[in-house]
Amino acid sequence: METRFPSALKSRFLGFYQKHEVLLSVAVFVLGFVFDLLTLGRIDDLLNLVQQAVYLLLLGTLLVVEIKLKIGALTLSPRAKNFWEYHDLFVHFLFGSLLSAYTIFYYTSASALTSFFFILLLAGLMLANEVPQIQRLGLPVRVILYTICLLSYFAFFYPILLGHVGFVPFWLGIVSSILVSGFVWQGNFRGREGNQVLKKHVLFPSLAVHLLFLVGYYSSLIPPVPVAVKKIGIYYDVLKQEGKYLGKHQQSAWRFWENGSQEFWARPGDKVYVLLSIFSPARFEDKIFLRWYFDDPKRGWFLEDTIPLSILGGRDEGFRGFASKQYYRVGSWRVVVETSDGREVGRISLRIAEDTSAGERTFKIDSF
């Protein structure tokens, strides 16, 4: 009886798994997502970086085994086959954890509508991997997801390492991903039979993702991780007091969704201040640019002014900084915050109107 019990238990579990495979896969994927939400720290946290690297290594190893099995380059022992039957659950957990982390990181850095399209694409791929019809495609989908994870990891690893975003960190990420893929290919698949299978299910999907990232970077589709605007507002004046930045505004209580005085009533001598808090990793030194756009009745939106602002990373609440504009016209304005490589990381709209009253003004205070 003692020898039959484990076998019967295993048989029942296997039957349950085969009957509810899709449901279990979704549950484990969600578990990976929730686990990451609960444990995810700062983007530059060393433990996070190491954990994601380990996850990528495990996923890459499982992917290599899957490819070898598909082209007949590997045969599993009976005991290994028993373990391999459940590898999907482990793969779904790892993908759930990695993709949720990258979706969160991209979301916090996204501002422009084009960036949100990229995040929706990423989220769509996460969900698509749980659809049975997509799962039947198997290997190509996993190669696509893995390549996205690998490129996403390098997309913020090199800016954290070098202390700035831009052309060099991005291309280091692309080249690193290609080198890793080439190393794996050279060591496992060069000269193997089944080259057509390898090209169709592995090489072409991987190249397509790399091309997507190249297009995404140069079209500002990919958010500028690891930089993120945490708070931004429009103010009449900015004071520094006891380590805090205080912005003076006249926002009406019912306009609770706005930051500062986005309805700016200007009197002669007033300056328009933009105060913001922007997160970047420790030892991060770079520049951002505040681009002021005016909506001219005849010309439409056009760039009127650009103000650079140096940022220093490491503070959890973000680096605080401000810029002011003394010469302006009444009308609609937009201030767009861009990184040094021209990608939008935040924006705020405001309307400047002439204040013809002469009474004393009462200001409220926002603290940064």
Listed residue (337, 220, 228, 218) closest to 274, CA to CA: 337
- Residue ranges and CATH numbers for the domains of the chain are 4-218 (no CATH), 228-367 (2.60.40.1930)
Distance (Å, whole) CA 114 – CA 119: 9
For residue 2, pLDDT beyond 60:
no
The string over 314-338, giving b where at least 16 C-beta atoms fall within 10 Å of a residue's C-beta and e elsewhere, is eeeebbbbbbebeebeeeebebbbb
The pLDDT assigned to 21 comes to 61
Average of per-residue pLDDT values in the chain:
84
Distance CA 173, CA 220 (A): 16
Residues 67-113 pLDDT 10s: 888 887 888 888 888 788 778 778 878 887 888 788 878 877 877 66
Q: In terms of pLDDT, which residue wins out, 318 or 52? A: 52
Does residue 3 carry a pLDDT above 70?
A: no
For a pLDDT cut of 70, what percent of the chain falls above it?
A: 83
Per residue in 26-36, pLDDT tens?
676 666 566 66
pLDDT value of position 82: 79
Total H helices, total E strands in the chain? 11, 11
Range in 200-204, 237-241, 263-267 the model is least confident about = 200-204
**What ranges make up the beta strands (E) of the chain?**
228-235, 237-241, 244-249, 263-266, 272-279, 285-296, 300-312, 319-325, 331-339, 344-354, 364-367
Averaged over 27-46, what is the pLDDT? 71
